Structure 1
Amino acid sequence: MSMYQEGLKLMEEKFGGGKDNAISLATIAREPGADGKPRPVVRSVDAYYEDCTFYVVTHAKSNKMQQIAENQEVSVAGCLEMFTANGVAENLGWVLDPKNAVIRTKLRTAFSEWYDMANNEKDENCCFLAIHLTKGTLNINHWEKLYHMDFVNKTDMKNGGIF
């Protein structure tokens, strides 16, 4: 088994299996910082993981979605696991759109304790966000073993990844 395949297996164990995961999601603010340079914005979100993608239920008019509309490049970090990654964010649209039926069922199940309380599915701005991972590093046991993964080319990266 390659390092990439081993890393994917560990990702599935840590984040998959229908779990509700707390992750940090970083975007770039629409307004620059005081020095005129891009300013990062980070927040925690609940996410469902499957096949190198994290899925989030959110609102299309939220700051994060407005920021993503301008720049789809994002970063994530596992709040309870030592995992950091870059990805490309995609607004999948309204949760009740028929094309979202399969992922909706999975997210409603994973987030069953709070889904209906936190989301108004009748609001067409209630949407799904997909974060397609591009590259990342899974850190096992505080630097005992590092998995540097290129999710696009489906291989490990020899010279480091995301720290």
Structure 2
Amino acid sequence: MSRYEEGLKLIEVTCGNNKDNMISLATIAMELNADGKPRPYARDVDAYYEDGVFYIVTYAKTTKMQQVEQNPEVAFTVCGGWISGNGIGENLGWVLDPKNAELRTKLREVFAAWYDYANNENDENCCILAIRITKCTVVKDHGADRYYMDFVNKVEMKEGSIL
């Protein structure tokens, strides 16, 4: 088994198996700071992980979705999970769109404890945000081992080359 595959297994153990994961999601603000430079913007969100993608049920008019629309490059960290990385955000559209039916069923199950309280599915702005991981660092045993993963090429990269 390659180190990339080992890293994938660690991500699956930490985030997979129908878990409701809390992740910090960072985007780039639409307005520049006083020096004219882009500003990061972070928030915690509930996310479902499957096959290299985090899925988030959100509202299309939120700041995060406006920022992702302007610049889909995002960063994330799994809260308490020793996993962080970069990805590409994509609005998959309305949760009730027939193309989202299978994924919506999974999301409703994983987020069952709060899903109906937090989401109005009848509003077409209730959408699914997909974060497709491009690069990721997985830390094992409090830093004794690290996996620097390139999800695009499906290989481990050398230390320090990702984050």
TM-score, normalised on structure 2? 0.98
Question: Runs of at least 4 residues of structure 1 off by over 3 A?
Answer: none
How far apart, CA to CA, are the structure 1 residues paired with 2:102 and 2:145? 35
* Structure 2 residue 137 is matched with structure 1 residue 131: no
Query: Letter of the aligned partner of 1:112 in structure 2?
Result: A
* Structure 2 residue 43 is matched with structure 1 residue 55: no
* Aligned length in residues: 163
Query: Letter of the aligned partner of 2:121 in structure 1?
Result: E
Displacement, 1:4?
0.2
Q: Which residue of 1 aligns with 2:88?
A: 88
Q: Which residue of 1 aligns with 2:159?
A: 159
Q: Which residue of 2 aligns with 1:141?
A: 141
CA-to-aligned-CA distance 1:85-104 (integer Å, 9 cap, x gap)? 00000000000000000110
Displacement, 1:161?
4.3
Select between 45-54 and 133-142 the one with higher mean Cα deviation.
133-142
| Unpaired segments ≥5 residues, structure 2 | none
How far apart, CA to CA, are the structure 1 residues paired with 2:23 and 2:162? 16
* Structure 2 residue 45 is matched with structure 1 residue 45: yes
Change (3 A) 1:142 1:155: same
How far apart, CA to CA, are the structure 1 residues paired with 2:34 and 2:142? 36
Displacement, 1:160?
2.8
CA-to-aligned-CA distance 1:110-161 (integer Å, 9 cap, x gap)? 0000000000000000000000000010011221110110001011102334
Displacement, 1:162?
4.0
Query: Letter of the aligned partner of 2:72 in structure 1?
Result: Q
| Unpaired segments ≥5 residues, structure 1 | none
Task: Confirm or deny: 8 A CA contact 1:29 1:39 kept in the other structure.
Answer: yes
SS at match of 2:143: coil
Displacement, 1:34?
1.1
Task: Confirm or deny: 8 A CA contact 1:84 1:162 kept in the other structure.
Answer: no
CA-to-aligned-CA distance 1:37-80 (integer Å, 9 cap, x gap)? 00000000000000000000000000000000100000000111
Q: Which residue of 2 aligns with 1:100?
A: 100
